[in-house]
Amino acid sequence: MNITESKTFINYSTGILKGENVIESVRKLGDIKDIYTDKKAINRMDQDQIAYKVQMHNTENEGKEGGLYIGTSFLYPGRVGDEYFMTKGHYHQKRDTAEYYWCISGEGILLLMDETENTNAVKIYPGSLNYIQGNIAHRLVNTGENILVIGACWPSDAGHDYGSIAEHGFSVSVKSINGKPEVISR
Amino acid sequence: MNITESKTFINYSTGILKGENVIESVRKLGDIKDIYTDKKAINRMDQDQIAYKVQMHNTENEGKEGGLYIGTSFLYPGRVGDEYFMTKGHYHQKRDTAEYYWCISGEGILLLMDETENTNAVKIYPGSLNYIQGNIAHRLVNTGENILVIGACWPSDAGHDYGSIAEHGFSVSVKSINGKPEVISR
């Protein structure tokens, strides 16, 4: 019997996915300007500057119960005023679905907010593994000098609800205060 | 606001999980002797020899819909007669649930069998990423000289059905023929 070849690959030191069914999306600062508190600062910046890229391996159809996706997020370093670069953040559309995040390189903070807007901030760095339970909104913040690279696995029926975050935001901001990250109520 | 510490860690070069809620199980040759075709050879071997270890991070209760587990399998090198060391192999109890396997180190073959006993053999090595769709039994075979280390993520309601494999086996064996792995109908 023939032995076939694997068709998709993950590089552990870079997080880069390659091969069949790998798709990539890019978020520029201009796409996510509403998430930052300092409106003057964001308007002065290059709206085409890349804030982050997401790669995902996408074999299943979105919404397929029992299926999984795997992906890598590459969040660039930078600040908008005092506020560090961050992802839009989302709840899952099917609220009670979980996600794993593991940090491949860089350093940052993972914000975890429940639906009563109670927020936890968790320090992440290479090797840290975080399990995000259902019903918890999650946002990555890059507090370092290099790209923050995060691997993730989530159910293919989870979906993304960005709307709730766009409307209400997170209850905290992560800002550089005297050169150190601090988590501050908004 | 306080920034808390991550409580679980994964080492990408070794696959080792550490920290909160990490559990480990061990399979000795004697526990899995029925999976090998050469009964004389297995009975001559040390039944206490470790065939493989599995670590998993287990926050959710088994059976929790929407939850996930992450784990690492460490499959030792060796043979029983001509047949390479392998895992028991299983379907998921909730049949239509998927799983990701990514190879961290070593080399081997991933056997994938559907319920009509149609089997695929896929070559795996560091960096290969395999998506195992629902309704597919999966078994790891170590065809190399070193430990085969595989990372995995699967839904916490998937469950393990070892019984179907114990009863019917896989439709193929992976054997060393003139020093090279070949996949042979049983």
* B1 domain-assigned: no
* B3 domain-assigned: no
Please, which residues bridge with residue A151 across strands?
A: A72, A102
Residue numbers in B near A91 (CB within 8 A)? none
Closest residue of chain A to B66, computed from CA coordinates: A97
What tens-digit pLDDT sequence spans chain A (186 residues)? 899 999 999 998 999 999 999 999 999 999 999 999 999 999 999 999 999 999 999 888 888 999 999 999 999 999 999 999 999 999 999 999 999 999 999 999 999 999 999 999 999 999 999 999 999 999 999 999 999 999 999 999 999 998 888 888 899 999 999 999 999 998
**Residue B166, min C-alpha distance to chain A (Å):** 22
Mutate to test the interface with A, among B2, B5, B11, B12 (most CBs of A within 10 A): B12
Residue A38 belongs to a domain with what CATH number? 2.60.120.10
CA A87/CA B142 separation, integer angstroms: 40
Residue numbers in B near A1 (CB within 8 A)? 119, 121, 172, 182-185
Residue numbers in A near B113 (CB within 8 A)? none
- The tens digit of pLDDT for each residue in B122-157 reads 999 999 999 999 999 999 999 999 999 999 999 999
Q: Which of A4, A9, A96 sits opposite B122 (nearest CB)?
A: A4
Please, which residues bridge with residue A40 across strands?
A: none
Closest residue of chain B to A105, computed from CA coordinates: B12
Element (H, E) at B154: strand B148-155
Q: What is the ipTM of this complex?
A: 0.94
Q: Does the CB of B171 have a partner CB in chain A at under 8 Å? A: no
Rounded to the nearest integer, the mean pLDDT of chain B is: 95
HEC readout, chain A: CCCEECCEEECCCCCCEEECCEEEEEEEHHHCHHHCCCHHHHHHCCCCCEEEEEEEECCCCCCCCCCEEEEEEEECCCEECCEECECCCEECCCCCCCEEEEEEECCEEEEEECCCCCEEEEEECCCEEEEECCCCEEEEEECCCCCEEEEEEEECCCCCECHHHHHHCCCEEEEEECCEEEEEEC
* A123 domain-assigned: yes
* B168 domain-assigned: yes
- The tens digit of pLDDT for each residue in B65-118 reads 999 999 999 999 999 999 999 999 999 999 999 999 999 999 999 999 999 999
CB pairs under 8 A between A and B: 154
| Overall domain count for chain B | 1
Closest residue of chain A to B121, computed from CA coordinates: A3
CA-nearest of A12, A8, A36 to A23 is A8
CA B50/CA A10 separation, integer angstroms: 29
Q: Which residue segment(s) compose the domain that B137 sits in?
A: 12-185
* A144 domain-assigned: yes
CA B104/CA B126 separation, integer angstroms: 5
As a dihedral over the C-alpha atoms of residue B58, residue B62, residue B66, residue B67, rounded to 10 degrees, the angle is 0
CA A106/CA A124 separation, integer angstroms: 8
**Would the pTM count as exceeding 0.90?**
yes
- The tens digit of pLDDT for each residue in B45-68 reads 999 999 999 999 988 888 899 999
* A2 domain-assigned: no
Residue numbers in B near A2 (CB within 8 A)? 121, 183
- Asked if pLDDT for residue B165 goes beyond 90, the answer is no
CB B128 within 8 A of CB B87: no
Element (H, E) at B100: strand B99-105
Please, which residues bridge with residue B69 across strands?
A: B154
CB A148 within 8 A of CB A140: yes
* A129 domain-assigned: yes
* A1 domain-assigned: no
CA A65/CA B66 separation, integer angstroms: 9
**Residue B98, min C-alpha distance to chain A (Å):** 5
Q: Which of A1, A100, A155 sits opposite B66 (nearest CB)?
A: A155
Residue numbers in A near B131 (CB within 8 A)? 8, 57, 59, 68, 70
CA A114/CA A170 separation, integer angstroms: 10
Residue numbers in A near B99 (CB within 8 A)? 68
Q: What letter would DSSP give residue A76?
A: P
